[in-house]
Structure 1
Amino acid sequence: MDSFFAQHRQTKRDTTSVIGVQGAMAINFDVVIETPEYEVDMKAGLDTLQGVSDATRIIGETLLTQKVPQRISYKSDVRTTLKKTFPGSYGHIFSLDLMSEELKKQYRKIGSATFSELMSYFTKEALHIDVDVDSLSEKAQKTLEILGDNTEKLIEQLRESPLRNIHEVPKKFGYKVLLRRRNSISNRELLVKFDKETSLVLEAKKSGEKVTLLVSIRRLNTNTGNGRLQVKGGEETVAFGFSTMYRDVRLATKKKFSENLDYNNGIDIEHWKYLEIIAAPVKLLDEKIVKYIVLGFHDE
């Protein structure tokens, strides 16, 4: 394991980014395991902390280099360091450390608030949690545009061991895990919450069936093609994506989805127009559908 499990270091102040050991810029976070006993099973706890470390490093390195890291190495210029614990539920402060001047420069360019926005966005997208891309700041949306196809690659990589490790405690013991940004000693911003429900999403599998649906497009990320749709007669939105990279989806198909979103936005549901699509459901073990993979239109 990398320096995440290094010896604890005491810090004189707790700020969003400070110059740490060897001139590194330290961006401070904390992870809280909400156990009433203030203690946790050691194996599951270490797995969860490792998952938090890996997810933070992968997202951070992707945002700062525009490349999704294939391997995590202790020699990387983006590292995590475990710091002090604090009273209350079982929790630890840790930092994302930027070692090179180029990475520090890129972080300042993105900005602290945007960095936090995108940390939360990518983690939630990987867990199929409803995220309104339009509610992201203009700076965050521009950063997503620059990342292009790397956004989908990053999300898929997070669904592998990082998020599975994070959920070791929620899955086995039912305790919630909170990832927070420490903007100051008194200001801690919740980025994402992991629990037993989000752990189930990682077990979802694409079914072999094909279904024909009448749907209204409620959200659409024009960088990745991911979004949310509402089946006619349904009350909740469901995540959707395409069976190919969004750049390879036909322009006519993209226009149908974006035009449907634009038309239905802001009008009463009885006046909505619907698209008739063919899709493959992605289901949990209890058959609940968490996502649809769009295969085409019924009239094609």
Structure 2
Amino acid sequence: MSLSFDAVVSTDQNEIDMKAGLNTFTGASDAVRCIVETIVTERVPERQTHKGKVRTLLKHSFKGSYGIAFSVELCDPKFETRFQKIKKTTYAELVSYYLNEAMYQHVEDLSLEAQGIVDRLGAKSDDLITQLRKSALENMHDISIKFNQDVKLRYRFSRDRQLQLVAINQETAKVLEAGESKEVIDIVAGITRFNTKTGNGRLQLKDELETVAFGFNTEYVNVKFEAKKRFSINLDKNNGVPKDKWDFVKLSVSPIKLKDGRVVKYIVKGIYD
């Protein structure tokens, strides 16, 4: 079994900068390999080499845009059964999920199979996201940063049918320089999504319309049960309820901000009654 993807650079010409293009395609390859290998082996690879358990293979090119098609294949028989047990579309779903999470983007609810895999990986999901931010995402953005050209990573059902998994552009490149603020502030928010296995989720400030990612400043296993329960209860209370009837929690947090000051994630330090 193999998984088919492509990475496409938007350009009005029949050419792109070679170095930036190669870096972008390498980043796409490394990101997909890293995600698939973590799913199959339940271990986050720190380095991508030709001896890895999962490898990417260049495929034929295609007309219409400048891009590259590649496949992902397992090269370790020990994990073959586990590799084939997961649906191809679930791999595609999880590639999209982890890359968008790494860029602090809102993601839709996962299928039961995909959510089960995320739950099973637990804290390894955070390790995977951290690994993606180290080099793969930076490389993927190379041509967007230097030449303002957008990139699409797609899953290929066939030559004529593709599903876009993630969009790369100068706007998403801003997350590469996001950093945690030293300030600790209090916020009042409602919980809109919460993963009880990883501790990650999204919240909405009382006076805002957009949701923002949140996580904890320690490994989730070390978070007190009472605090975990408060998040779960708040999510249950707000689920399907108009916002003017929401229950809110007061949190002590450190914001992760972009250079322009926009907050993309809150790191929870404490919760108040």
Superposed pair shares fold, TM > 0.5:
yes
Q: RMSD over aligned Cα, in angstroms?
A: 1.2
Instruction: Supply the distance in 2 between the matched residues of 1:169 and 1:216 (Cα, whole angstroms).
Output: 38
Tell me the percent identity: 46
Instruction: Supply the distance in 2 between the matched residues of 1:294 and 1:161 (Cα, whole angstroms).
Output: 26
Alignment of 1:137-286 (within 5 A): 137-286=111-260
Instruction: Supply the distance in 1 between the matched residues of 2:30 and 2:208 (Cα, whole angstroms).
Output: 37
Shift of 1:298: 3.9
Shift of 1:102: 3.2
Structure 1 gap ranges (5+): 1-24
SS at match of 1:94: strand
Return the TM-score normalized by structure 1: 0.88
Contact between 1:167 and 1:199, CA under 8 Å: does it hold in 2? yes
Shift of 1:149: 1.5
Instruction: Supply the distance in 2 between the matched residues of 1:192 and 1:102 (Cα, whole angstroms).
Output: 30
**How many residue pairs are counted as aligned between the two chains?**
273
Instruction: Supply the distance in 1 between the matched residues of 2:3 and 2:207 (Cα, whole angstroms).
Output: 46
Instruction: Supply the distance in 1 between the matched residues of 2:86 and 2:143 (Cα, whole angstroms).
Output: 33
Contact between 1:229 and 1:240, CA under 8 Å: does it hold in 2? yes
In the alignment, what sits opposite 2:54? 78
Shift of 1:143: 1.2
Instruction: Supply the distance in 2 between the matched residues of 1:32 and 1:230 (Cα, whole angstroms).
Output: 34
Contact between 1:213 and 1:279, CA under 8 Å: does it hold in 2? yes
Instruction: Supply the distance in 2 between the matched residues of 1:212 and 1:128 (Cα, whole angstroms).
Output: 21
In the alignment, what sits opposite 1:119? 95
SS at match of 2:57: strand
Amino acid at match of 2:75: M
Return the TM-score normalized by structure 2: 0.96
Amino acid at match of 1:208: K
